[in-house]
Amino acid sequence: MVLLMIGLNLISQTLKNTKWVVTDPNYVMTYYYHFTPDTIFVSEDNITFTPQSKFTCDQSSITMQDITGVMCAKNLVGSYAYYIGTNYVTFTLSSDNCSSRMFLMTTYHWSKMPAGIEAVEPISFSVGPNPSNGLVTVKMNSNRPAEILVYNLTGATVFSTKITTLETNIDLGSLPKGIYLFRVNSEGTTAVEKIALR
């Protein structure tokens, strides 16, 4: 799982000691990547980072080698071409026998974390009652600005709102009965909870 890329002569300017927010295609899972000159570190909470891969790159391609054996077989190498936009990067497969890494590199959304933003307290919340008849209360651990997204199990967004309060009441009574995922995004951190509507 490694990755991002800019040429070695740009690493000190662009990637070294910078962090990237990496989100799956449905915006449910978020990871944080930190690039040093030759190692990629990953975190699920933007606080505790662990080494994942060694990498080398030039200005248009990157080669990475998994050092953990978690995502790919240990020491398995993958290569990608890349393009860096204003605040994002995209990858194109060159060669890789690790399907998990290919999916991460080519389908996840890679966004550069704004300068000056380091570790922030992870957002957390509770939603209830669970199960619910549609009237739910979302309780946050912080009143900093946040976005609430509700997804059905096909990945479609069925509700969204922005909040700045510790407690928010939401009426989902018009939705079909079933299982839904609540996702809250705030300052680069994400939390997800599941709820049943009956």
Q: Which residues contact 47 (CB under 8 A, 6 or more apart)?
A: 119, 122
Out of 112, 134, 158, pick the residue that ends a domain. Answer: 112
Task: Tell me the CATH number at 173.
Answer: 2.60.40.3080
Strand 88-96 and strand 135-140: the pairing is unpaired
Task: Tell me the CATH number at 99.
Answer: 2.40.128
Give residue 114's pLDDT. 66
Give residue 121's pLDDT. 61
* Any domain includes 76: yes
Q: Please indicate, yes or no, whether residues 27 and 91 belong to a single structural domain of this protein.
A: yes
Q: Please indicate, yes or no, whether residues 130 and 108 belong to a single structural domain of this protein.
A: no
Give residue 10's pLDDT. 36
* Any domain includes 158: yes
* Any domain includes 191: yes
* Any domain includes 117: no
Q: Please indicate, yes or no, whether residues 102 and 161 belong to a single structural domain of this protein.
A: no
How far is Cα 19 from Cα 141, in angstroms, rounded to an integer? 24
Q: Please indicate, yes or no, whether residues 169 and 97 belong to a single structural domain of this protein.
A: no
Q: Please indicate, yes or no, whether residues 98 and 17 belong to a single structural domain of this protein.
A: yes
Q: Please indicate, yes or no, whether residues 81 and 139 belong to a single structural domain of this protein.
A: no
Look-up: residue for tokens 């510790």? 166
pTM of the model: 0.52
Q: Please indicate, yes or no, whether residues 28 and 97 belong to a single structural domain of this protein.
A: yes
Return the closest-CA partner of residue 124 out of 146, 109, 104: 146
Q: Please indicate, yes or no, whether residues 61 and 134 belong to a single structural domain of this protein.
A: no
Q: Please indicate, yes or no, whether residues 14 and 105 belong to a single structural domain of this protein.
A: yes
The residue range of the domain holding 158 is 125-197
How far is Cα 72 from Cα 189, in angstroms, rounded to an integer? 26
Q: Please indicate, yes or no, whether residues 129 and 190 belong to a single structural domain of this protein.
A: yes
Strand order in the sheet with 167-171: 125-128, 135-140, 167-171
**Per-residue pLDDT of the chain in tens (198 residues, 90 and over written 9):** 444 333 333 333 455 566 889 998 877 788 888 878 888 888 888 777 788 898 888 878 889 999 888 888 888 999 998 887 778 888 999 999 999 999 999 999 998 876 655 555 667 788 999 999 999 999 988 888 889 999 998 888 999 999 988 999 999 999 999 999 898 888 767 778 889 999
Q: Please indicate, yes or no, whether residues 101 and 186 belong to a single structural domain of this protein.
A: no
Give residue 5's pLDDT. 36
* Any domain includes 180: yes
Domains in the chain: how many in total? 2
